[in-house]
Chains A and B, each alone.
Chain A
């Protein structure tokens, strides 16, 4: 659990939010606005929300609404980092001298929650030139294509951005 004040109100908020996200996905994928598909969709969404509550998997981890708009702005920053990394790796591949020095290294993790650790590890893998090869409670092991890629990770810029996603409210 992420919030200490996890209770009925938070559960209700997550359930309602999940219902509307499911409903939106249903509308987008079907594209029909007649009564029958809408009613069927509402029934299906209600049933799925009921199932997830019964399975006890609806919380801040599966459904991180507490991150709010910080998540999209993080994605925008990440997209730009990915573009830069793509360009860098593409240059290395096309360079006749093939200037790569693949390396494996381990770092300590400073993120507090599991969700942040996974977001961090996934962001590293998503960025070309670095792949997360192992992740446990305190350490992350990374394979990098070059010295520069390793230095970029070690600078801790991405780690700080991820840590800022979850403020202790």
Chain B
């Protein structure tokens, strides 16, 4: 059981690290759209690794099945909510932040205008 404990602690540790990086990203990234990507980090590997660590602690029991269900529901619902947020922001005319040196500036801006006219 000792080896399993270490495994589970490693997974919990890496998961926590990804939560932390995601939180740093939420602060460091420049605008709403890029911050969604940082939130994606928390949704996927952050939550996923922590649940995996807890699954190892749970062993072969009903709790394992419940944790698997939590992970499944999370993986189905989190992209849906991310998409709803991003779509709503774009429809209401929020312009994505562009890198000042990005050569495709003009072209992308018209793309953004098209999207907000939908």
Contacts and interface: CB of A to CB of B under 8 A. Distances in A.
Interface of A: 25, 28-29, 31, 82-83, 86, 89-90, 93-94, 98, 100-106, 121-123, 125-134, 141, 143, 145
Contact of A90 (B41, B79, B83, B111): B41
B111 A131 contact: no
A128 B62 contact: no
B21 A28 contact: no
A8 B98 CA distance: 54
B108 interface: yes
Given A128-B38, A131-B83, A131-B86, 18 more contacts: A28-B65, A29-B69, A31-B62, A86-B45, A93-B22, A102-B97, A103-B98, A104-B33, A104-B108, A122-B76, A126-B78, A127-B40, A132-B83, A133-B33, A133-B87, A133-B115, A134-B90, A134-B115
Interface string B20-64: 011011001111011011101101110000000000000000100
Given A28-B62, A134-B87, A86 B44 contact: yes
Contacts of A127: 40, 44
Nearest to A98: B28
Contact of A128 (B44, B75, B80, B83): B44
Interface SS of B by simple majority: helix
Contacts of B86: 131-133, 143
11 contacts: A28-B65, A89-B38, A102-B97, A104-B108, A104-B115, A128-B41, A131-B33, A131-B86, A133-B86, A133-B90, A143-B36
Interface of B: 18, 21-22, 24-25, 28-31, 33-34, 36-38, 40-41, 43-45, 62, 65-66, 69, 75-76, 78-80, 82-83, 86-87, 90, 96-99, 102, 104, 108, 111-112, 115, 118
Contact of B37 (A28, A128, A141): A128
Contacts of A83: 45
Contacts of B33: 102, 104, 131, 133, 143
A95 to B, nearest CB: 10
A53 B106 CA distance: 52
Contacts of B65: 28
Contacts of A122: 76, 79-80, 83
Contact of B36 (A25, A82, A131): A131
A145 to B, nearest CB: 5
A143 B97 CA distance: 11
Nearest to A99: B99
Contacts of A103: 96, 98, 102, 104, 108
A131 B82 contact: yes
A81 to B, nearest CB: 10
